Structure 1
Amino acid sequence: MQTTTLSFANMHNHGELFANMLRARRELFIVLNKWALPEAMGMEFDQYDTPASRWIVVHDEEGRVMAGNRLTPTTAKCGIYSYMIRDAQRGLLDTIPAHLLYAEAPVSDTIWESSRLFVSHDVPAHLRRRVHATLISEIAVASRALGATQCLTLLNANWPRWAARVGVGMKAMGPVMEIEGIDNQVVAMDFAAQLH
């Protein structure tokens, strides 16, 4: 199992890995979850897949994607969009409730957003926990390298069950909300303690 943090500056060094990650996102989010998301050429994407973002991919030696995640700076701007959680709060996204945070969405060099977190559906059950922990660990490493002390993410509200297992401090930043039949919650992952 390997992890790679992709950017527009380095993706050319990793062959089909970026495209494979977008294909895996399509398979999970569009085909299996039936989410109405943009797609082209068998890949899922949205307005946040820009040069400002980074993508963490857990994969095998052949480039088969096991898990992935996107990191976007909370300072990002692309047309009317910034980052997913903030744009939902601003009423720009009709699929995520605007009341997802207790306070105003932050804009800070030290806070990034983690989104599109997934573990591929075909990862065997006996490996899923390890793959998930590897992904979270690499999110911490990549976030710290980018100068982030915190990542905001919209997660399944069952996060308290597994947060301690992955060794990252997490706290709720908004209420539990039902989105497409699943309870979700915005959570802050705190990487400040790991900076030392």
Structure 2
Amino acid sequence: MIFIIDSLNLREHADIVKDMFRLRKRVFADRLGWDVQISQGMERDRFDDLDPAHVVSVDDEGRVVGCMRLLQTTGPHMLSDVFSSILDGEPPLRSATLWEATRFCVDTDRLVSGRARNSIAYVTSEVMIGAFEFAMSAGVTDAVAVIDPVMDRVLKRSGNAPQGYVGTPKPMGKVTALAALMDCSEERVKRIRDFAGIYHDVTQPQTVIA
């Protein structure tokens, strides 16, 4: 199930948000070895203080198993302030109808392979559906995301291929970073739903039949 958490309901979902930051720590610091800020077992950065929206997947036991951060591009964001070299000297993208998607991750320790509800592919698709549908409801037409080649292949396989790229790929630590553009559209959401077999409202709990 997907929770959309922003400044309006942050207190209501404080425990979920803490678990989300713990997942980010396990993925980005422990597994990927990124140079990120860790405090009290949680990974946070300065962009989390700019009132982003968090798209969080929670499993049937109430555990956070996936997440993504959505941030407006009209102010500071990672492509403009951290990964600006990708832009080759061009000005950063800024628009009220363009959001940046970052900090996407899933809990590969708790999720399985295949396409079942507790699979990596299912949760990845669920987060993407939740993010695009929420963005469209807010009047957002496009998204930009800094990704690596592995994520680029994942997006292409799951009906969520980028419609284009900004700037040129640049080495970032152990990986190559790309700035991918994606439209927020019903057609894109349909492709992701068809790939994953997800046709329900992802923000509503589903009955599990034994």
- What interval of TM-score do these two structures reach, taking the shorter chain for normalisation? 0.7 to 0.9
The corresponding residue for 1:67 is 66
Q: 2: distance between equivalents of 1:73 and 1:147?
A: 12
Q: What TM-score results when the alignment is normalised by the length of structure 1?
A: 0.83
What do residues 92-140 of structure 1 show as CA deviations (whole Å, max 9, x unaligned)? Answer: xxxx4x3212542121110111011111221222311111111111110
Q: State how many pairs are aligned.
A: 181
Verify the 8 A CA contact 1:133 1:166 in the aligned structure 2.
no
Aligned-residue offset at 1:173: 1.2
Partner in structure 2 of residue 187 of structure 1: 180
Supply the AA of the counterpart residue of 2:123. V
**Runs of 4+ deviating beyond 4 Å:** 192-195
Distance 1:194 1:144, change over 3 A: farther
Amino acid of the structure 1 residue aligned with 2:183: D
Offset of residue 168 of structure 1: 5.8
The aligned residue for residue 87 of structure 2 is 101
Q: CA distance change for structure 1 residues 134 and 166 in 2, over 3 Å: closer, same or farther?
A: farther
Asked if 1:128 corresponds to 2:120, the answer is yes
> 1:93 matched to which residue of 2?
none
Q: Give the partner amino acid of 1:186.
A: A
* Equivalent-residue separation in structure 2 for 1:132 and 1:59 (angstroms): 12
1:40 CA drift (Å): 1.3
Structure 1 residues 61 and 11: CA distance shift in structure 2, 3 A: farther
Shift of 1:63: 2.4
Residue identity opposite 1:87 in structure 2: D
Change (3 A) 1:6 1:168: farther
Deviations 1:31-76 (A, max 9, x none): 1112121121111000000252000011113321111110000113
1:146 aligns with 2:138: yes
Q: For residue 79 of structure 1, what is the aligned residue in structure 2?
A: none
Q: Does 1:54 align with 2:46?
A: no
- Aligned equivalent of 1:4: 3
| Distance change (3 Å), C-alpha of 1:170 and 1:164 | farther
Q: Percent identity?
A: 21
Aligned residues of 2:86 and 2:170 also touching (Cα < 8 A): yes
Aligned-residue Cα RMSD (Å) equals 2.1
Task: Report the 3-state secondary structure (helix = DSSP H, G, I; strand = E; otherwise coil) of the residue aligned with 2:146.
Answer: strand
Q: Return the alpha-carbon distance in structure 2 between the equivalents of residues 124 and 58 of structure 1.
A: 15
CA contact (8 A) 2:100 2:145 kept: yes
Structure 1 residue runs without a partner (length 5+): 77-81, 89-95
TM value normalised by structure 2: 0.78
1:1-44 per-residue CA deviation (whole Å, 9 max, x = no partner) reads x0111112112223511000000000111111121211211110
Paired residue for 1:92?
none
User: Contact 1:136 / 1:166 at 8 angstroms: preserved in 2?
Assistant: no
What amino acid is the match of 1:85? L
